[in-house]
Amino acid sequence: MENSTVSNGRRGEEIVAAYLEEIGYSIERRNFRLYGAEVDIIARRADTLHFVEVKRWRSFDRSELEYAIDGRKQHRIARACRGYLASLNESEVLGVSFDVALVDPSDDSIRYIQRAFEIE
């Protein structure tokens, strides 16, 4: 039997991937792992790559977002991002955005935050 936390997370990722495709993004990778980090969804829209962290939580409180995606988590995501970008042609990407998608499990509504954090 699958862990309910894992199952809940996968369901959130499915919901967000479908949402992103519906609004014009193309999904390049899901559950990309590199250097001890995982990026839930890597999506492209125009010439920007979006590295999306998905959280399926009951609350959308900003303080919880900061708890969920703390500085350490942000740097791990950025490290995986750099590795992914190194595998691409430089001409393929002009922009990068670190986004967060919050999914409410009671009704599967999505709060999508573009450029939720920046990495130097």
SS3 1: coil
- pLDDT, tens digit, 9 for 90 and up, residues 85-105: 888 876 666 789 999 998 888
SS3 111: strand
Rounded percentage of the chain residues whose pLDDT exceeds 90: 41
- pLDDT, tens digit, 9 for 90 and up, residues 33-55: 998 889 999 999 988 999 999 98
The pair of structure tokens assigned to 9 is 């997370």
**Band of the pLDDT at 71, cuts 50, 70, 90?**
confident
Proportion of the chain in helix, strand, coil states, percent, rounded to 5: 40, 35, 25
Cross-strand bridge partners of residue 98: 51, 117
In the chain, the domains with their CATH numbers are: 4-117 (3.40.1350.10)
Q: How confident is the model at residue 1, as a pLDDT?
A: 43
